[in-house]
A and B are shown apart, each in its own frame.
Chain A
Amino acid sequence: MLSLLISLSILTISSLFILLFSQSRRISAYIFLWSLVTACGFGLVSAFGVLCQKAIVLPSMSMDLRVLGTIPLGEFYIGIDALSAFFLLLFFILSLAAGIYGYGYLREYAGKRNVGVHFALYHLLLIVITLVLVAKNAILFLMAWEIMTVAGYFLITFYNESEGVRKAGYIYLIATHVGVFCLTVMFLAMGAYAGSMNFDRMAATQYPLGLASLLFILAFLGFGVKAGFIPLHIWLPRAHPAAPVHISALLSGVVIKVGIYGLMRIIVIIKDFPLWCGVMLLIMAAISGVGGVLYALGQHEIKKLLAYHSIENIGIIALGLGIGMIGHAYHQDAVAFIGYTAALLHTFNHAVFKGLLFLSAGSVIRSTHSGDMEEMGGLFKVLPWAGHLFLIGSLSICGFPLFNGFISEWLVFRALLEGVFRLDVFGIIFSSMAIGALTLIGGLAALCFAKAFGVIFLGRNRTSEEQHYKEGDWLMHGPMILLAAICFWVGIFPASMVYGAFQGAQAITGVAVGLGLKEAIIDPLILATRVLLFGGIIFVALVFIRKMLTLEYPVRLTETWCCAYAHVTSRMQYTASSFARPILKIFRSILFFKVESNRLQEYFARETKLSSSLKDASEYFLLRPFFYFIKRISRKLKWIQSGHTQIYILYILFLLVILLIWKLH
């Protein structure tokens, strides 16, 4: 606790200093960098302190901090339990990496723009996210949440001269703020029932099932907007491409995870939800997962593609969460426990590998000055660092063995299978459907990253002009290597993080874990990774031996054989659209897939073009019509304000008459 407070105060003081020295770029940048490193260091210490049971628990480490303020309703009341600590862990790791990378990334704007304000806002965001994660008072939570929303807006609109960025930021602000209203009502209703705004008191209260359902719907709307469940996700694929890349990493890795944290916190507080809540979450999770990956497949803008993958991964996390809730509703504590563990671990893993992917994509964007995949290709040779790191991220996100994604997806499968074995018919149906969805997600994700990696890094460059690509420096590589190392670490030695996730899951269920359950979960996992690691080592050894053996036969480099076609250009290769097309065609009935092409009708080909785009169904069929409808109503009601004073005075008279009739008969 003490180290967390130190970390918070470092961030607060340094953000003020950054603002103060924002004119001098060098000083503000140094303050930013060092305060970030020390603050994240202290933060990680506090998170580990809570997560590691064996560590010596100093009295200052476990205490809650409570300052009796005189804010109406609220008070400053914070404390770290295992759930908060788990999120703090991933939060500090990612914000450290993204911050250092951002410092390196934004150096090209030095002098053109006040980067100091951006850094100060970054610190502000870190402070309020920390507060959200450790708040034990609903009003404090809401206050921090509000500032998180606003600070996020100004970080996203760094390039605010561009119309698209402004619109993206505006949509982000609206979506998340509407979410805040749902949360406000939810917390007020909970507080009114529990008689206090403190989470402890709320958690000690037993809520009737009807109220619990209502609260769950509000929580799902409020937190779901932040987390990006389909169809509440519209801000996400817009905000991510608009923001500077380290902010996208932070958004995707942490900010949307705060939504997941909120849902988990509500589960801790309310505990007993009716069964249908879990089922609804499971269904929404499956929709988000499958929908997210399908939309990702149709994107040709790299950050947008990654943004849709965030939606997919939120779906996977929520599958774990949903089966956990279902398990709890059936009083199968083992199912609940494994489900929550899986959700937590995937939250951590996603933060790490998605951060890695965004940052390495940022390196690509920085050197190509474009996010359009169709203009890239063959970058593996010129940007080897970005290429290899992106590959590691891709393998992790696809759930490839020996990488961290595999571990958490295994656990989600495990939880769902556990659900199949232990629940009744109804539960079995939903669990097996979720297993189907998860399998589909896994396959499609692999396809999607084959497309992304292949089109960006393999083949030949598609731009006509010769470009000089410049790779970033160690300020950008360092954070990425850190994240890649964590991907490996968790993939090869899963026990460490799985035990961390156990702590968090136990904080959610709040009941003692059955004897031997932890071992039953983790032993097959360790065994599997050992075998796979062994296989991996053999594979590497074989590759090495082959290389040694073929040393004397040098490899010939020639043009690809193109059916004897003479003039091969770099445009004659698979594009991102053509790669994705066959799969998207299969799902045409549920996707709004638009292809525009000029059909060739003559014998001699003339200039022609083909383009495909995937429209977001929830945006086009839900939100746009809704706002159109509202606008039409608003326009139709314009006659009320006709501008005639006489009519306005008539309204007063009407009001008077109506009141007289209503109240005095």
Chain B
Amino acid sequence: MLTLLIAIPFLCALAVFLPVSRDFRLKLFFVISLAHALIVASFWSHQPLEEYNGFLVLDSLGLILLSIISFLFLSVSIFMIGYFKHEKRSNRLFTACLLFLLSTMSLVAVSYHFGLLWVAIEATTLFSAPLISFHRNQQSLQATWRYLLICSVGIALALMGTFFLAIAAHDVHTLLLPVLLKGASSLSVNWLKLSIIFFIVGYGCKMGLAPTHSWKPEAYGQATGMVGVLMAGALTQCSFLALLRIAQICNKTGLTEFYSSILIVSGILSLAVPAMFILGEKNIKRAFAYSSIEHMGLLVLGLGLGSVGLFGALFHMINNALAKVIMFLTAGSVAQKYGSTRSDEVTGVIHIYPLTGILLIAAFLAGIGMFPFATFHSELLILNAAIISKHYLLAAIGVICLAFMFIGVGKIVLGVIHGKPKEPLLAKKENIYMNVAIAMAVLLLIGLGLWMPRPLENLLHNAVSLVGAV
């Protein structure tokens, strides 16, 4: 089952290169995403068996990520049907890369071996790079190049981390997670510490934690909304899964303190840095990129703070992904209508496109973590974890940074929503597919904000106990 999940998108990606029509590609992508989503949905009731001698296993953590990936691809595939009605450019490479990305991201979610995990994450980097430069202009190429370069450095460091972990695990002779956890006492602590540092810096680059975040505003600013969703919602969280896997080992070997102190520091940095730079920003997509850095900061902060915080962080993974769908898809829809997402070029959206305007408001509120969106709850849980564990200063800094993000993002987004309506250049009408794709995520996120279903709560609790945080 797991193999199919990875293989089918991969084979279809190859099939996309055959001479088929544009519409066929879009439909194929939609069908594959839907099938993927259905298979993943079935995993909620029946856990799949492990495959390839335990290399591929789906546990609670993986299921959270896999569900996120599945939902994101589904909404992107619906959005794309509408988007390519107004887009002249060929979608061959674009669709192929998306399918490759789906395949490799699924691999990340189910790989139970640190080497395989590394390979999968490296592959996601490769396949996401062409997506950023979809528009093929100078800025987007530069952004792609920078993204590739910085993430490659990160990935290289993560490879070093993997090697050090292998040295530390000299006695158990494997990097399979269950074996490592069982033989935790025999791991060499010093090598493990070294590998942890390399892992955090390496995968942190991929997540976009400050100060390795610098590729983010440019890449997200240049990429189309759909790619922004997948990168900010799924790709970064794949790396977070890697950090969670490392946390499993750390909690088993008694390095919790060592690990969490680094995470808390980088979490706070990732909250503070975007708060500093958001104020001068004008572009919605770039603002959302800063918001993404901030959310990554919240994730690692939650992980660093332990049990209550970890619950919040895992919940935030889901909410963050949904919020990113709303944010980047709406930004993409605005970008297609006006050819820009700058608040000094686009104003009064709500007067011409009431629906897009409302979705933009939803994007703002969801991104900033306001009720009724579930991001409110997960941010609250993480803050609560900081206060319960008596990190009062941490809570204070976090709150101040969140306030600055609110001020900065609010200024840009509200400037675009309100004001004198400007005539749009490109698309005159709202597109139903695009709006449906966004509205799905809005409803889901509001639903989670009002009521947390029992299976989800159980899943999150299972995941917390799996990480074994205290």
Contacts and interface: CB of A to CB of B under 8 A. Distances in A.
Given A73-B384, A147-B371, A656 B198 contact: yes
A188 interface: yes
Interface in B385-437: 387-388, 392, 395-396, 399-400, 402-403, 406-407, 410-411, 414-415, 418-420
Contacts of A188: 380, 383-384, 387, 395
A265 to B, nearest CB: 19
Interface in B198-238: 198, 200-201, 204-205, 211-212, 214-215
Contact of A181 (B277, B371, B403, B452): B403
B157 interface: yes
B201, B372, B453, B454 — most chain A CB neighbours (10 Å)? B201
B28 interface: no
B457 interface: yes
Contact of B193 (A166, A654, A664): A664
Contacts of B457: 70
Interface stretch (A169-177, A410-418, A443-451): A169-177
Q: DSSP class of B's interface residues: helix, strand, loop or mixed?
A: helix
Interface string A121-144: 000000000000000000100110
B212 to A, nearest CB: 5
A54 interface: no
Contacts of B211: 640, 651-652, 654-655
A425 B453 CA distance: 60
A649 B212 CA distance: 8
Contact of A655 (B212, B370, B411): B212
Contact of B410 (A143, A173, A185, A651): A173
Interface stretch (B32-40, B82-90, B148-156): B148-156
Given A70-B453, A73-B384, A188-B383, A634 B371 contact: no
A84 to B, nearest CB: 21
B377 A634 contact: no
**Which bracket fits the contact residues of A?**
35 or more
B58 to A, nearest CB: 25
B212 A72 contact: no
Contacts of B200: 659
Contact of B150 (A166, A633, A634, A649): A649
Contacts of A147: 371-372
Contacts of B376: 143, 146
24 contacts: A70-B451, A70-B452, A70-B453, A72-B311, A146-B371, A150-B370, A157-B418, A173-B410, A185-B395, A185-B399, A191-B384, A631-B279, A634-B280, A638-B280, A640-B211, A649-B153, A651-B211, A652-B153, A652-B201, A652-B205, A652-B211, A652-B212, A655-B204, A664-B190
The 9 closest A-B pairs by CB, nearest first: A648-B214, A160-B418, A143-B371, A146-B371, A651-B211, A181-B399, A70-B452, A188-B387, A659-B197
Interface of B: 145-146, 149-150, 153-154, 157, 190, 193-194, 197-198, 200-201, 204-205, 211-212, 214-215, 258, 262, 276-277, 279-280, 311-312, 315, 348, 365, 370-372, 376-377, 380-381, 383-384, 387-388, 392, 395-396, 399-400, 402-403, 406-407, 410-411, 414-415, 418-420, 450-454, 457
Given A73-B384, A637-B277, 17 more contacts: A70-B452, A71-B377, A71-B451, A72-B380, A143-B372, A146-B370, A146-B376, A181-B403, A185-B396, A188-B384, A648-B146, A649-B150, A652-B153, A652-B154, A655-B211, A659-B262, A663-B258
